[in-house]
Amino acid sequence: MKIRRITTKPISIPLKQVFRTALRTVNTLENVLVRVETDTEFTGFGSAAPTAVITGETAGSIAHAVAHIGAALEGMDLAGHELVFQRLNSCMVANNSAKAAVDMALYDLLAKSMGIPLYRLLGGNIQSLKTDITISLDSIDAMVEASSARVAEGFTILKIKVGNNPELDIERLEQIYRAVGSEVSMRIDANQGWQPKEAVYVGREIARRGIPVELMEQPVAAHRYRDLAYVRKRLMLPVYGDESVFSGTEALELIRIGAVDGINIKLMKCGGIYNARKIAAIAEAAGIPCMIGSMMECHLSVTAAAHLAAATSAISIMDLDAPLFCSTNPVAGGISYHGEEIVLPDEPGLGISGLKGS
């Protein structure tokens, strides 16, 4: 099966509600869909999310990068797919979300050509995953109301965005905990919003108040590895790296200096499933767990992440709720949501039968 042509199509989906973190505010999801055509009847689908404040990529840069990648891969035979993935990663530096979209389309093709769902190709046998649900950064009242509403809908794990003011963040967590009770698990994500001492203060204060938090994600600036280690060494609470970890090289370094208890893998940061599996293997060897997360991504790329998670034992925590924030789904097929449960499709490949409106 030879790669014939790789094309892109930008899409924009209004969100059901505004999404706010310590880094950014989003009203509309912008993604770039990717199609990989071959010399067979099979077409592979992928999608990239431009997240300029994290990966440096925009919708325009992704379209240009995919065109460059397409020129590098055209004519290559997927029968030797190790070489194809090596070229995908070496034909240009950075541009990881663009690479991720092409990577997942190639995996889609490999599994389609074998007539099996991707999670089975990757060695998985689980068809259902449990995701957390994100509570956007907002006023205390709005966050308490959103948390209660999500728990009433049946979600049992909240991923709470914090990181703009330590005192206010502690109050947010205390009020949310009082509203939802101890049956609900709370994960917190500061998106780099704290100074190291602030992060230690928040971690210790919530412990002192008896607020049960499962883990703290990316408390400090992405590139400040020593600060991440400083925070981790002073807290019992597990500290996860997200924006700090794009590649296996970074995962190795963070583990070496004792900066993380876990790693949040996102296809848009690492460049796709091929590289994500290497990070998961490094984490597994170090004896630390992985979370799988996403940017503001549509059903298509989150479906790819779900296939990976269902087949990777090192990935034990799912944060794959982004499509629930979208007002529409740009693809037919893929994962479906039943409350907090994600069900993977039975169809071959990613299980995406087509792009709507094309």
- What is the set of active-site residues? 161, 266
Q: What is the CA radius of gyration of the chain?
A: 20
Least separation, in Å, of the C-beta of 11 and Mg ion? 23
Least separation, in Å, of the C-beta of 191 and Mg ion? 6
Our CB check for Mg ion shows the closer of 150 and 187 to be: 187
Longest Cα–Cα distance of the chain, Å, equals 62
Least separation, in Å, of the C-beta of 293 and Mg ion? 6
Kindly give, in sequence order, each residue whose CB lies less than 8 Å from that of residue 113, ignoring residues fewer than 6 positions away: 1, 40, 42, 78
Number of residues that bind Mg ion (CB under 5 A): 3
Our CB check for Mg ion shows the closer of 117 and 262 to be: 262
Candidate segments 59-67, 214-222, 302-310, 327-335, binder of Mg ion by CB under 5 A: 214-222
List the interface residues with Mg ion, window 245-274 (CB under 5 A).
none
8 A C-beta contact, residue 157 and residue 187: yes
Find the residue with minimal CB distance to Mg ion.
242
8 A C-beta contact, residue 176 and residue 143: yes
**HSE value, Cβ hemisphere, 13 Å, CA-based, for 151:** 21
Residue 189 is a binding residue for Mg ion (CB under 5 A): yes
Our CB check for Mg ion shows the closer of 199 and 355 to be: 199
Residue 242 is a binding residue for Mg ion (CB under 5 A): yes
Is the backbone of residue 275 left (phi > 0), alpha (psi -120 to 50) or beta? alpha
8 A C-beta contact, residue 39 and residue 2: yes
For the record, the structure tokens of 313 come out as 């034992």
Our CB check for Mg ion shows the closer of 217 and 227 to be: 217
Least separation, in Å, of the C-beta of 291 and Mg ion? 9
- Given the structure tokens 């917190």, which residue do they identify? 188
Our CB check for Mg ion shows the closer of 137 and 342 to be: 137
Least separation, in Å, of the C-beta of 343 and Mg ion? 24
| Interaction pattern, residues 83-122, with Mg ion; x per rule: CB under 5 A | ----------------------------------------
Our CB check for Mg ion shows the closer of 109 and 315 to be: 315
Is the backbone of residue 223 left (phi > 0), alpha (psi -120 to 50) or beta? alpha
8 A C-beta contact, residue 62 and residue 50: yes
Distance, in Å, from the CA atom of 302 to the CA atom of 203, rounded to the nearest integer, reads: 30
Candidate segments 83-91, 156-164, 167-175, 186-194, binder of Mg ion by CB under 5 A: 186-194
Phi, psi of 133 (to 5 degrees): -130, 135
Please say whether the dihedral angle defined by the alpha carbons of residues 284, 288, 294 and 299, taken in this order, is positive or negative: positive
The SS3 of residue 292 is: strand
- What is the DSSP code (8-state) at residue 80? G
- Given the structure tokens 């950064």, which residue do they identify? 137
Candidate segments 83-91, 108-116, 183-191, 279-287, binder of Mg ion by CB under 5 A: 183-191
Candidate segments 46-54, 121-129, 235-243, 334-342, binder of Mg ion by CB under 5 A: 235-243
Straight-line distance from the first to the last Cα atom of the chain, in angstroms, rounded to the nearest whole number: 23
Candidate segments 25-33, 82-90, 187-195, 249-257, binder of Mg ion by CB under 5 A: 187-195
List the interface residues with Mg ion, window 192-211 (CB under 5 A).
none
Residue 132 is a binding residue for Mg ion (CB under 5 A): no
| Interaction pattern, residues 19-48, with Mg ion; x per rule: CB under 5 A | ------------------------------
Our CB check for Mg ion shows the closer of 112 and 187 to be: 187
Least separation, in Å, of the C-beta of 217 and Mg ion? 5
Burial of residue 311 (CB within 10 Å: 0-12, 13-18, 19+) is: buried
Residue 297 is a binding residue for Mg ion (CB under 5 A): no
Burial of residue 73 (CB within 10 Å: 0-12, 13-18, 19+) is: buried
Interface ranges with Mg ion (CB under 5 A)? 189, 217, 242
